[in-house]
Structure 1
Amino acid sequence: TSQPAPTSQPSPDRSIAAADSIMLREVRFVGNTVFSSDQLRKEVKSYIGRRITPDELEDARVKLTKLYIARNYITSGVILPDQEIDPDDAVVTFEAKEGKLARPDVKLEGVDAQNQAKKLWLRRSFIIDRIMAGAGRVLNIDRLKDRLELLRQNANIKRINAELEPGTSPGQSILNVKVEETSPFHFGIEFSNRRPPSVGANRFELFGSVTDLTGNGDALGVRYTINKGQLDDWEWAGLDEYSIFYSLPLNASDTTLELSYQRDDSPVVESPFDELDITSKTDTVFATIRQPIFRTTTADFDYREFAVSLGIGFRQNTSQLLGEPFSFSPGAVGGRTKVAPLRFGQEVIFRNQSRAISFRSTFNLGVDLFGATMKDDSIGGGGVDSQYLAWLGQFQYVWRIPKTDHLLIFRTAGQLANDSLPSLEQFSVGGMDIVRGYRENQLVRDQAIVATLEYRLPILHRAGQSILELAPFIDAGYARDVHELISNDTDFISSAGIGLLFHPNEKFSATIYYGYGFKDFGTTSDLQDISIHFDLIYQPF
């Protein structure tokens, strides 16, 4: 019968352990993927080409292990396997044992606020996939911490704790993770005067969202406008004004698909035009892919992100006069305007406890798809069609004044266009969000730039938290059309004023601003005409 071949063992007199000293001619490395052999060789080059003792050889091994640890590969190291050598002409092989975190070694548990076990709403794969993406092929503790911190930024996660402990074999680690989730359900009602007075400024709106619909981190949001027209002539909106939004992360890198639909119905209710039965309906559909290029945390910023997005949409506006199609704006044909914008966006975010900086750039290209309106479609086109190029830039800086809870907020935005734009794609200036003290959409032009500076000063606290803030501000905006030959005095508007922000708890907030507009447009039929803007929100959960 055949016998197993004997296991090869180093000859006792030629093993490293048996040598009093060796002449080290060269070193070789196996198992190393983090560092190249040349990088490792540089660390121990002082030992090569001379006679060294076993203690010095061990020092070389420790030095190589410390290189891994210094680069935050704390579960990796280098060993010196026993091997046959020629003591007078030795070529020694070091073996890298690079630590890894295997998927089965991530032990995930859902907990509540008291750290008691609780079933997770998020799928386990959603969390573990993102942890593994940060762990990498070779476990780096800094990258793992960074990934866990990024995971904590997820809207569905309130708290995440992780403990790394050694496994049963060299290089193996076990990660114990406990996750406390936020409630995925949100619902509220809002009352504000964020609409132009011509179509009824005051609106009641219901809004709700599920931030984790299926356990995959997908979010569904709905906003529904209850009323339209003036409050003293209440009319239910029916299904005329609502919006739906859905987003789905596609992978562990958070490539996200975003889908949205919005319908707006805006009958003119302001005298004397209310007698003409003027209506305007707009439908907007968009599909967008968003891809973070990098997301990380640093010592200076708790969160940094650069992302790009690409979206295609379809927007259609239909206007009527006395029940018949009528073109009110250049580019409309038979009372209808259609545009198919292709949007390419870039977004940069920096955020920590004292500062938040964001910049968003969007290139908008009108393309000839989905029956987009062309200037040749009709004489009524007016030289404006749906093929255009425009750029929209938005910047915001929020700074918490050191050693206080005061905030300084600066915002600016601008749009440039290469040609006259359809009304659906023009820039609106005026209102609560863009130059207070004037009507919503006071100026609607092809190109514009706006800026606001606001200082938020807490004046009332409860339990150490600010619940009432004063907010003095100054706003300014300039807008003009591409083919406007001579600027007029209505192209520039500015204001200064003060606001009150009341937020006694997480469920209710009230905001009111008074802005003194330095230009008078002579209208006095609405609160916006006396420079008052307000927003009340109640969100029970």
Structure 2
Amino acid sequence: MQRLIGLLTLLLGLFVCAAAQAQSGSMIIDRSRPDRAPAATAAVPSTAVAAGNVRGDPGAVDAFVFQRLEVAGSSLPQAPFADAAKPYVGRKVSRADLIKLSDAVGGVYARSDIALYTILVPQQTFANGVVRVRVVEGYVAAVDLKDQPGRPPSDLSRLYAEALQAQQPLLKSTLERQLGLMRDIPGAQPDVQILQGDKPGAVRLAVTPKTRRFEGTLAVNSRGASMLGSTQVELGGHVNSLFREGDRTDITFAFPTELERFQYVGVGHSQRVGKYGTSIAANVGYLRTKPDLNGFDLKGTAKTAGLTVVHPVLRSNQKNLYATAGLDGLNSDNALFGRQISQERTRTFRVGATYTSQTATTVATANATLSKGLDALGARMADPTQSQADFTKVSGQFTRAIYGKRYALRLATAGQYTGDRLPASEKFAVGGAQFGRAFASAVISGDSGYAASAEFALRRPATAKPLAGSEAYVFADYGQVTQTSKRSPFRDDEVASVGGGVRLAVIPKAIVELEAAKAVNDVSSRRGNRPLKLMVNFRSAF
């Protein structure tokens, strides 16, 4: 009987973790769960966030000895301007030098947080060697925004845009944040133009909202566990601004080519609230499994529900920080011969943060999450000696990509630590698309663990035809898991693999991946020596 219960516990962990590690996101564990994936990915900016106009022509000038620079109309401290003028102090300057001096003043503004400015060098006597420069700092005097025909009113875009009118002078950080929030609206592709106003320093912000109403995704991969079907399919449908601007409704279906092994459906809805970019998301999911156990008729079900709040603490073109908080629950039932053997109910509160940084050649993401299990709201474990409802764990992820003209280097690491005995759905799993690529999804799992991977790719230029944007790559990865309880039916384990492949951009927004991977460190004797694994994966957005 103990052997049977151990087998059931193993299977429960496998189908929960395998679902959590599936191709483009989680299945049983919703992909928005803070400890599984970063909170958000900032949209790439397409509008300049600063505009400086340096009018440094003082007219005809007789050479004179420069002594001091006076900048009028500036909200910045005078010290940076004095530093910019130091190279000219005591020197005889000409008209060309004055133009360079005005450019130096413009450089101070370019390095500041002022978004819009005009620098003027008026005609003057230059008495006592004093050069007077006037600055006009810009502000948004009006916002022109039209609603989209056949769409809900653009109230959220208007709220974000009108917030710019409250600041004078307008700061880059404010402009970047508000334009970023407009682009973060699901499906949004706004056309934003900064136009000259009718007063000095005044500009008009002309916004033409454009929303892609319907979106879809398709992913097929051959990384699944054999018991649940090695080839798995995921279909996603997304509707933007269905009820009001800023909402998004998602539905996901997942299943293997051996359809009876599992079926999953998930539904989620998110909505932006308020003027600060906060979003609230709710999701539910249902998973049914019937793994291939060589004669055992073992069926399982799992139900999930979650509520997550995400707030952009910092939102800019290059650096972003998101804070998250959420509550989620999982009800899983595993039955044998029509009798319920294992029940697991988890209720978990999570808080976390995600930081992203990007430049022209690098992209980095860091995520950390604290998860606290609640021994309340109906939470219970099938075997309290093996797992506990009131667990605490810390998990994190870090990725960094470096791009050259013809190459890409991608590094990733993830880890989890706890001193508690975790439920199966909370364990750290290795195996699948990111770590342990020579193995099936979640081939090993443990209460604590870490993993790392490195990939180097040679890329075909985006302008080259055919197969623009395709790449050939090699990779190596490693992962290790440990169990808190020495009485666990699972064991401490590690896996490592190396391999390579090609990603072919056969059509726009679609990638075919052909990969060969070899296990190089598979210490688990129960799995034996693994041959070279060949995989075909496909993903597309439409």
> What is the TM-score with the length of structure 1 in the denominator?
0.69
What secondary structure sits across from 2:162 in the alignment? helix
The residue that corresponds to 2:205 in the other structure is 175
How far residue 351 of structure 1 moved from its aligned partner, in angstroms, is 1.6
- Structure 2 CA distance for aligned equivalents of residues 145 and 137 of structure 1: 10
Residue range with higher mean Cα deviation, 258-267 or 462-471: 462-471
Contact 1:148 1:160 in 2 (8 A): no
The residue that corresponds to 1:441 in the other structure is 442
- Structure 1 CA distance for aligned equivalents of residues 433 and 201 of structure 2: 58
1:308 and 1:493, CA in 2 relative to 1: closer, same or farther beyond 3 A? same
What secondary structure sits across from 2:180 in the alignment? helix
**Number of residue pairs matched?**
427
How far residue 196 of structure 1 moved from its aligned partner, in angstroms, is 1.6
In structure 2, give the amino acid aligned to 1:106: V
How far residue 191 of structure 1 moved from its aligned partner, in angstroms, is 2.3
1:511 and 1:152, CA in 2 relative to 1: closer, same or farther beyond 3 A? farther
More RCO (CA 8 Å, sep 6+)? 2
Structure 1 residue corresponding to 2:347, chosen from 340, 357, 363 = 340
- Structure 1 CA distance for aligned equivalents of residues 385 and 191 of structure 2: 58
The residue that corresponds to 2:304 in the other structure is 284
Contact 2:260 2:290 in 1 (8 A): no
1:137 and 1:145, CA in 2 relative to 1: closer, same or farther beyond 3 A? closer
The residue that corresponds to 1:243 in the other structure is 266
RMSD: 3.9
What secondary structure sits across from 1:341 in the alignment? strand
- Structure 1 CA distance for aligned equivalents of residues 116 and 438 of structure 2: 59
- Structure 2 CA distance for aligned equivalents of residues 421 and 450 of structure 1: 18
Contact 2:154 2:245 in 1 (8 A): no
How far residue 490 of structure 1 moved from its aligned partner, in angstroms, is 6.3
- 1:505 aligned onto 2:535: no
Structure 2 residue corresponding to 1:389, chosen from 382, 387, 392 = 392
The residue that corresponds to 2:49 in the other structure is none
Alignment of 1:105-504 (within 5 A): 105-109=142-146, 119=149, 121=151, 123-140=153-170, 142-143=172-173, 145-147=175-177, 149-151=179-181, 153-154=183-184, 155-167=186-198, 173-179=203-209, 181-225=210-254, 227-228=255-256, 231=258, 234-235=259-260, 240-271=263-294, 275-297=295-317, 303-326=318-341, 335-373=342-380, 380-401=383-404, 403-404=405-406, 406-458=407-459, 462-463=464-465, 466-484=468-486, 491-504=493-506
Contact 2:467 2:505 in 1 (8 A): no
What secondary structure sits across from 1:420 in the alignment? coil
Contact 1:151 1:157 in 2 (8 A): no
Structure number with bigger Rg: 1
Contact 1:523 1:529 in 2 (8 A): no
**Residues 228-272 of structure 1: CA deviation (Å, up to 9, x unaligned):** 5x63xx5496xx51111221111221111011112222211142x
What secondary structure sits across from 1:471 in the alignment? strand
Structure 1 unaligned regions, length at least 5: 1-31, 44-65, 78-96, 111-117, 298-302, 327-334
Contact 1:467 1:504 in 2 (8 A): no
Contact 1:414 1:450 in 2 (8 A): yes
**Residues 81-121 of structure 1: CA deviation (Å, up to 9, x unaligned):** xxxxxxxxxxxxxxxx997645xx211247xxxxxxx7484
Contact 2:181 2:277 in 1 (8 A): no
Contact 2:427 2:445 in 1 (8 A): yes
In structure 2, give the amino acid aligned to 1:244: V
In structure 2, give the amino acid aligned to 1:176: A
The residue that corresponds to 1:52 in the other structure is none
1:295 and 1:431, CA in 2 relative to 1: closer, same or farther beyond 3 A? same
How far residue 536 of structure 1 moved from its aligned partner, in angstroms, is 1.8
Contact 1:500 1:511 in 2 (8 A): yes
Structure 2 unaligned regions, length at least 5: 1-72, 82-104, 120-135
How far residue 177 of structure 1 moved from its aligned partner, in angstroms, is 3.0
